[in-house]
Amino acid sequence: GQQVMQIPQYQHVQEGEDFTTYCNSSTTLSNIQWYKQRPGGHPVFLIQLVKSGEVKKQKRLTFQFGEAKKNSSLHITATQTTDVGTYFCAAGGTSYGKLTFGQGTILTVHP
Amino acid sequence: GAVVSQHPSWVICKSGTSVKIECRSLDFQATTMFWYRQFPKQSLMLMATSNEGSKATYEQGVEKDKFLINHASLTLSTLTVTSAHPEDSSFYICSASGLAGGPRDNEQFFGPGTRLTVL
pLDDT tens digits, one per residue of A11-46 = 999 999 999 999 999 999 989 999 999 998 999 999
The Cα–Cα gap between A6 and A103 comes to: 6
Cβ contact B111–A88 (<8 Å):
no
Q: Which residue in A31, A35, A104 is closest to B106 by CB distance?
A: A31
CA distance readout (Å), A94 to A102, B47, B56, B73: 15, 15, 16, 23
Contact B106 A92 (CB under 8 A): yes
pLDDT at residue B40, rounded to an integer: 87
Query: What average pLDDT does the structure give for chain A?
Result: 93
By C-alpha distance, the chain A residue nearest B106 is A97
- A92 shares contact with chain B (CB less than 8 Å): yes
Tens of each residue's pLDDT in chain B, 119 residues: 688 999 999 999 999 999 999 999 998 888 889 999 999 888 999 999 998 878 899 999 999 999 999 988 889 999 999 999 999 999 999 999 875 554 556 678 899 999 999 99
Q: What is the structure's pLDDT at B59? A: 93
Q: What's the CA gap between B5 and B114, in Å, rounded?
A: 10
Count of Cβ atoms closer than 10 Å to residue A97 Cβ: 19
Q: How crowded is residue A111: how many other Cβ atoms within 10 Å of its Cβ?
A: 7
| β-pairing verdict for A43-49 and A4-7 | unpaired
Rounded to the nearest 5 percent, the helix, strand and coil shares of chain A are 5, 55, 40
DSSP3 helix / strand / coil % (chain B, rounded to 5): 5, 50, 45
Of the candidates B66, B74, B57, which has an alpha carbon nearest to the alpha carbon of residue B19? B66
CA-nearest residue to B50 within chain A is A96
Beta-bridge mates of residue B94: B35
Structure confidence by residue, pLDDT tens digits, A51-90: 999 999 999 999 999 999 999 999 999 999 999 999 999 9
